[in-house]
Chains A and B, each alone.
Chain A
């Protein structure tokens, strides 16, 4: 009787301890987006459509000294005419707390599908850009940025 009781309590302690250990491993210190989340965001916009590589020039440092201020410069090849122009460029980061960085909406009145901003990057990660042209075709480019000091205050 005695042995049964202590065996049971030892087993439940083991189960409890391993559950706690599992929870500690799974609980993130800093919730971080992932490539899967970036894919999900892209699917929300363009589910089922094929996206080709190219046309987007992504100008990013290979190593960012300061994750708080990382310059991003992009340009999408396009004549930017009434019929042939870039409608949107979406920029994502696959290692930040949230996958979205910024979206840019151009019109034929803009001479270039280009812009420059500064971003906060929490850690080394990929920057992914997706461009949508007026005819519905989609292009993508990606570049890895190594970040020495993360820009999320942590």
Chain B
């Protein structure tokens, strides 16, 4: 599997206090642990189990996922932009890997 690539779509400029929508997508099989391979052995679970959003280093939002979240997980939500800064997004894999993306937002 190629390295899961996260993608984020959100405004890069906002008025102070403006509410903007964040759309995220990451390519990941989200192996549920329910499937069996050709020999009948269960394919072990391997999913992204958590998503964390921070603004200027402070956590603002978190989501925990179970295998019921679809493959190539899509997640959208809304953030406030109090001042110029950087949003950091992390996806935590069952195997300990962390995939990251960030977006700076300017005021204007």
A residues sitting closer than 8 Å to B (CB atoms) are 68-70, 93, 96-98, 100-107, 109-112, 114-121, 151-154
Contact assessment for B60 and A109 in the assembled complex, using a CB-CB cutoff below 8 Å: yes
User: Any chain A CB within 8 A of the CB of B55?
Assistant: yes
Contact assessment for A110 and B78 in the assembled complex, using a CB-CB cutoff below 8 Å: yes
Query: Inter-chain contact count A-B, CB under 8 Å?
Result: 92
The DSSP consensus for interface residues of chain B is strand
B residues sitting closer than 8 Å to A (CB atoms) are 19, 32, 34-35, 55, 58-71, 73-80, 82
**Chain A residue at minimum C-beta to C-beta distance from B81:** A111
Contact assessment for B69 and A118 in the assembled complex, using a CB-CB cutoff below 8 Å: yes
Q: Assuming the A-B contacts A107-B60, A152-B34, are A101 and B69 also in contact, with contact meaning beta carbons closer than 8 angstroms in the complex?
A: yes
Residues of A with C-beta under 8 A to B80? 109-111
Residues of B with C-beta under 8 A to A102? 63-66, 68-69
